[in-house]
Amino acid sequence: MRQNIINVKIISIITALALLGDSMLYIVLPIYWKEMGLHSLWEVGILLSVNRFVRLPMNPMIGWLYQRIHFRNGMTIAVLLASLTTFLYSLEGFWLLFTARCMWGIAWSFFRIGAFFFIMNVSNDGNRGRFMGTYNGLYRLGSLFGMLFGGVLAVLFNVSVVSILFSILSFTGLIFIFKYIDPSIKTSNHLPKSGHITGHMKRLIWNNQHVFWTLTTGLVIAMIYQGLFTSTLSYLIHTLHGNVMYWGISFGAAAIAGVIQALRWSWEPWLAPWFGRKSDGPKGRQPLLVGTLICSALLFSLLPLQLHFIIWLIVLIGIQMTATILTTLIDALALDAANQTTQRESVVTFHSVATDIGAALGPLLGYFVYSYLDMKWIYWAVGFILILITLRWMFPWKKQQNTSLSNQNVSN
The mean per-residue pLDDT over the stretch 169-193 comes to 77
Residue type, 147: M
54: left (phi over 0), alpha (psi -120 to 50) or beta: alpha
Percentage of the chain surpassing pLDDT 90?
24
Residue 15 pLDDT grade (very low, low, confident, very high; cuts 50, 70, 90): very high
The mean per-residue pLDDT over the stretch 391-402 comes to 63
Give the single-character DSSP code of 396.
-
Q: What is the pLDDT of residue 157?
A: 83
Q: What is the pLDDT of residue 81?
A: 96
pLDDT per position as a tens digit, 305-321: 877 878 888 998 999 99
The mean per-residue pLDDT over the stretch 201-216 comes to 71
Q: What is the pLDDT of residue 193?
A: 46
* Rounded distance between C-alpha atoms, residue 300 and residue 236, angstroms: 13
Q: For residue 399, how many other CB atoms are within 10 A of its CB? A: 8
CATH number of 2-183+197-411: 1.20.1250.20
Compute the half-sphere exposure of residue 318: CA atoms within 13 Å on the CB side of its CA: 18
Q: What is the pLDDT of residue 242?
A: 57
Q: Under 8 Å CB-to-CB from 372, ≥6 apart: which residues?
A: none
**What values do phi and psi take at 246, rounded to 5?**
-140, 135
CB–CB of 293/316 below 8 Å?
A: no
Q: What is the pLDDT of residue 207?
A: 60
Q: What is the pLDDT of residue 397?
A: 54
**What values do phi and psi take at 197, rounded to 5?**
-65, -50
60-64, 188-192, 401-405: least confidently modelled range: 401-405
* Rounded distance between C-alpha atoms, residue 230 and residue 49, angstroms: 11
Q: What is the pLDDT of residue 385?
A: 92
Reported for 299-304, long-range contacts at CB under 8 A and 24+ positions apart, including other chains, are 300/224, 300/379, 300/380, 300/382, 300/383, 300/386, 301/379, 301/380, 301/382, 301/383, 303/236, 303/379, 304/236, 304/240, 304/374, 304/375, 304/376, 304/378, 304/379, 304/380
Q: What is the pLDDT of residue 243?
A: 56
Of 187, 11, 10, 23, residue with least CA distance to 104: 23
Q: What is the pLDDT of residue 185?
A: 72
Q: For the whole model, what pTM was predicted? A: 0.72
CB–CB of 346/278 below 8 Å?
A: no
pLDDT per position as a tens digit, 125-154: 777 888 888 888 888 888 878 877 887 888
